[in-house]
Chain A
Amino acid sequence: MASATTSFRSDIRFLLGDEERSLRDVDPQMTVLEYLRLTERKSGTKEGCAEGDCGACTVVLGEPDGKGGMAYRTVNACIQFVPTLDGKQLLTVEHLKTTDGSLHPVQQAMVETHGSQCGFCTPGFVMSLYQLWLDGGEDDRGAINDALAGNLCRCTGYGPIIEAARKAGGVAANDSAEQKRRADIATNLTAMVEGEGTLALEHPAGRYFAPRTSDELAALLVAHPDATVLAGGTDVGLWVTKMLKRLDPIIYIGDVDDLKSVTEADDALVIGAGVTYSRAHDALGRVASDVGELVRRIGSRQIRNAGTVGGNIANGSPIGDTPPALIALGAKVVLRMGDVRREVPLEEFFITYGKQDRHPGEFVESVIVPKPQSGLVFKAYKISKRFDQDITAVLGAFAIKVDDNGKVSEFRAAFGGMAGTPMRAKKCEAALIGKDWDEANLNAAQLALASEFSPMTDMRASKEYRMLVAQNLLTKLFIETSAPDIATRLVGKEAAHV
Chain B
Amino acid sequence: MSDQVMKTDMDEVVAPTAGLSGGVRSSSKHDSGPKHVAGEAVYIDDINEPFGTLHLAPGAATIAHGKISKLDLSKVRTAPGVVCVLTADDIPGQNDVSPAHTDDEPVLPDGIVQFYGQPVFCVAAETRAQARAAAQLAEIEYEELPAVLDVAEALEKQLFVAPPHVMKQGDAKAALARAKHRHAGRMDIGGQDHFYLEGQISFAIPGEDGDVLLHCSTQHPSEVQHNIANVLGRPANAVTVEVRRMGGGFGGKETQAMQWAALAAIVATKTGRPAKFRLDRDDDMVMTGKRHDFIVDYDVGFDDDGRICGLDIQYAANCGFSADLSAAIADRAMFHTDNAYYLGDVEIRSYRCKTNLVSNTAFRGFGGPQGMVAIERIIDEIAMTVGRDPMDVRIANYYDTKDRNTTPYHMVVEDNVLPELTDDILKASDYRKRREEITAFNAESPVLKKGLSLTPVKFGISFTTTFLNQAGALIHVYQDGSVHLNHGGTEMGQGLFIKVAQVVAEEFQIDLDQIKITPTNTGKVPNTSATAASSGADMNGMAARDAAMTIKNRLIAFAAEKYGVAESTVRFVPGKVIVGDKDELAFADLIKQAYLARVSLSATGYYATPKIHYDRESASGRPFYYFAYGMACSEVLIDTLTGEYKVTRVDIIHDVGRSLNPAIDLGQIEGGFIQGMGWLTSEELWWDDKGSLRTHAPSTYKIPACSDRPEDFRMELWSSGRNVEKTIHRSKAVGEPPLMLAISVHRAIADAVASVTDHKVVPALDTPATPEAVLHAVADCAKRMIEKVHSAQSMAGE
Which A residues lie at the B interface, using CB under 8 A? 37, 41-51, 53-54, 56, 92-94, 96-97, 103, 106-108, 110-112, 114-123, 126, 141-142, 144-146, 148-149, 151-162, 242, 244, 381, 383-391, 393, 458-462, 464-465, 468-469, 472-473, 475-476, 479, 486-488, 490-491, 496, 498
A142 to B707, CA, bound (A): 8
Interface size on B, residues (CB 8 A): 89
Q: Which 7 A-B pairs have the closest CB atoms?
A: A44-B39, A118-B493, A120-B247, A119-B36, A157-B674, A117-B493, A93-B39
B530 → A minimal CB distance (Å): 17
Which residues of chain A are near B686, meaning CB under 8 Å? 458-459
Indicate whether A144 sits within 8 Å of B706 (C-beta atoms), given known contacts A118-B493, A461-B772, A490-B637. yes
B478 at the interface (CB under 8 A from A): no
* A–B Cβ pairs within 8 angstroms, 17 of them: A46-B247, A51-B697, A97-B38, A107-B38, A118-B198, A126-B37, A154-B194, A157-B671, A157-B704, A385-B771, A386-B708, A464-B776, A472-B642, A473-B642, A479-B446, A479-B447, A490-B644
With a CB–CB cut-off of 8 A, which chain B residues contact A488? 447-448, 639, 641
Residue on A with the closest CB to B638?
Answer: A490
Known: A119-B245, A120-B43, A156-B670. A49 touches B698 (CB 8 A): yes
CB contacts (< 8 Å) of A387 on chain B: these are: 644, 646, 705, 707-708
Q: What is the CA–CA distance of A384 and B642 in the complex, to the nearest angstrom?
A: 10
Give the one of A114, A460, A469 with max B CB within 10 A: A114
Chain A contact surface mostly: loop
Contacts of B663 in A (CB 8 A): 114
Q: Does B133 contact A (CB under 8 A)?
A: yes
Whether a CB of chain A sits under 8 angstroms from the CB of B796 is no
- Tell me the minimal C-beta distance from B775 to chain A in angstroms: 6
Q: Which residues of A contact B141 (CB under 8 A)?
A: none
Contact B707 A149 (CB under 8 A): yes
8 additional A-B pairs beyond A154-B197, A385-B771, A390-B702, beta carbons within 8 Å, are A49-B697, A53-B697, A149-B705, A149-B706, A157-B704, A158-B709, A391-B700, A459-B694
B699 at the interface (CB under 8 A from A): yes
Q: Which chain B residues border A383 with CB–CB below 8 Å? A: 642, 644, 771
Please name all residues of chain B whose beta carbon is closer than 8 Å to the beta carbon of A491 when the two chains form the complex. 646, 707
Measured in the bound complex, the distance between the Cα atoms of B700 and A390 in whole Å is 8
Task: List chain A residues, Cβ under 8 A from B673.
Answer: 157
Rounded to whole angstroms, the CA-CA distance of A96 and B666 in the bound complex is: 28
Query: Which B residues are CB-close (under 8 A) to A473?
Result: 641-642
Task: Check if B245 sits within 8 Å of A118, measured CB to CB.
Answer: yes
CA distance A50 to B697 in the complex (A): 9
Which residues of chain B from 233 to 261 have any CB-CB distance to chain A below 8 Å in the complex? 245-250
Contact assessment for A117 and B706 in the assembled complex, using a CB-CB cutoff below 8 Å: no
Inter-chain contact B197/A487, CB cutoff 8 Å: no
From B27-35, B66-74, B344-352, B550-558, the one touching the partner chain is B27-35
- Complex alpha-carbon distance, A153 and B703, angstroms: 9
- B706 A151 Cβ-Cβ under 8 A: yes
Q: Bound state CA distance, A170 and B150, in angstroms?
A: 52
Q: List the B residue with the shortest CB-CB distance to A52.
A: B699
| B779 beta carbon closer than 8 Å to chain A | yes
Name the CB-closest residue of A to B646. Answer: A490
A46 to B281, CA, bound (A): 12
Q: Which of A92, A145, A242 is close to B707, meaning CB atoms less than 8 Å apart?
A: A145
**Per-residue interface assignment for chain B, residues 679 to 709, with 1 indicating a CB less than 8 Å from any chain A CB and 0 otherwise:** 0001010100000001101111011111111
If the complex has contacts A103-B34, A120-B247, A498-B441, are A56 and B197 also in contact, measured as CB distance less than 8 A? yes
Q: Chain B 444-464 against A: per-residue CB contact (8 Å), 1 yes, 0 no?
A: 011110100000000000000
Which chain B residues numbered 16 to 46 have a C-beta less than 8 Å away from chain A?
A: 27, 29-30, 32-43, 45-46
B45 partner residues in chain A, CB cutoff 8 A:
37, 43, 47
Contact indicator per residue, chain B 713-757, by CB within 8 Å of chain A (1) or not (0): 100000000000000000000000000000000000000000000
Q: Which residues of A contact B445 (CB under 8 A)?
A: 486-487, 498
Task: Name B's A-contacting residues (CB within 8 A).
Answer: 27, 29-30, 32-43, 45-46, 48, 132-133, 136, 194-199, 245-250, 280-282, 441, 445-448, 450, 492-495, 637, 639, 641-646, 663-664, 666-667, 670-675, 682, 684, 686, 694-695, 697-700, 702-709, 711, 713, 770-772, 775-776, 779
A42 to B664, CA, bound (A): 29
With A383-B644, A465-B775 as given contacts, are A48 and B197 in contact (CB-CB < 8 Å)? yes
Tell which of A92, A117, A162, A472 touches B30, judged by Cβ atoms closer than 8 Å.
A117
Q: Which residue of A lies closest to B494 (CB)?
A: A117
Closest to B648 in A: A498
Residues of chain A within 8 A (CB-CB) of B27 are: 114
Q: What residues of chain A lie closer than 8 Å to B493, measured between beta carbons?
A: 116-120, 155
Q: State whether A93 touches B494 (Cβ < 8 A).
A: no
**Which of B37, B133, B495, B695 has the most CB atoms of chain A within a 10 A radius of its CB?**
B37
Count chain A CB atoms within 10 A of each CB in B39, B282, B441, B684 and give the residue with the most.
B39
Contact of B280 among A50, A103, A107 (CB under 8 A): A50
Q: How far is the CB of B44 from chain A (nearest CB, A)?
A: 11
**Cβ contacts under 8 Å, A462 to chain B:** 772
Cβ–Cβ < 8 Å partners of A157 in chain B: 667, 670-675, 704, 709
Q: CA A47 – CA B776 in complex, angstroms?
A: 37
> What chain A residues lie within 8 Å of B32 (beta carbons)?
116, 119
Q: Is the CB of A103 within 8 A of B642?
A: no
Are A498 and B198 in touch, CB under 8 angstroms? no
Q: A117-B495, A155-B671 are in contact. Are A385 and B39 (CB under 8 A)?
A: no
Task: Find chain A residues with CB under 8 A from B670 CB.
Answer: 156-157, 159-160
Closest to B281 in A: A49
Give B772's nearest chain A residue, CB to CB.
Answer: A465
A46 contacts which of B38, B43, B446 (Cβ < 8 Å)? B43
Complex Cα spacing A144 to B706, Å: 9
Q: Are A469 and B642 closer than 8 Å at their CB atoms?
A: yes
Asked, given contacts A116-B37, A391-B700, whether A51 binds B281 with beta carbons under 8 Å apart, the answer is: yes
Q: Which residue of B lies closest to A43 (CB)?
A: B46
Kindly state the separation between the CA atoms of A462 and B775 in the bound complex, as whole angstroms: 12
Cα A9 to Cα B663 in complex, Å, equals 55
* Pair A160/B667 contact, Cβ less than 8 Å: yes
On whether the beta carbons of A385 and B770 are closer than 8 Å, the reply is yes
Identify the closest chain B residue to A106 (Cβ).
B37
B675 and A53: CB pair below 8 A?
no
Which of A106, A159, A383 has its CB near the most chain B CB atoms (within 10 A)? A159
Rounded to whole angstroms, the CA-CA distance of A51 and B132 in the bound complex is 16
Contact B34 A46 (CB under 8 A): no
CA distance A167 to B135 in the complex (A): 48
> For the complex, what is the distance from the CA of A145 to the CA of B250, rounded to whole Å?
25
Chain B residues near A108: list those with CB within 8 A: 37
Residues in chain A near residue B132, CB distance under 8 A: 244
Complex Cα spacing A92 to B684, Å: 33
Q: What's the nearest-Cβ distance from chain A to residue B20, in Å?
A: 20
Q: Give the CA-CA distance A51 to B282 in the complex, in Å.
A: 10
Q: Is the CB of A469 within 8 A of B643?
A: yes
**Contacts of B42 on A, CB cut-off 8 Å?**
43
Q: Which residue of A lies closest to B33 (CB)?
A: A111
Contact partner of A496 (CB less than 8 A), chosen from B34, B43, B448, is B448
CB-based contact A156/B39 at 8 Å: no
Contact between chains at B698 and A51 (CB < 8 Å): yes
Contacts of B197 in A (CB 8 A): 46, 48, 54, 56, 118, 120-121, 152-154
With A and B bound together, what is the CA distance between A108 and B38 in angstroms? Answer: 10
Report Cα–Cα, A48/B249, bound state, in Å.
14
Which chain A residues border B706 with CB–CB below 8 Å?
144-145, 148-149, 151, 153, 158, 161-162, 388
Which chain B residue lies CB-closest to A389? B705
Docked-complex contact A118 and B46, CB < 8 angstroms? no
Tell me the bound Cα distance from A490 to B195 in angstroms: 27
- The minimal Cβ–Cβ distance linking A244 to chain B, given in whole angstroms, is 6
Distance (whole angstroms) from the CB of B769 to the closest CB of chain A: 11
How long is the Cα–Cα vector from A176 to B151 in the complex, in angstroms? 65
Question: In the complex, are the beta carbons of A48 and B281 less than 8 A apart?
Answer: yes
Closest to B438 in A: A498
Given A49-B698, A156-B667, are A123 and B39 also a contact pair (CB < 8 Å)? yes
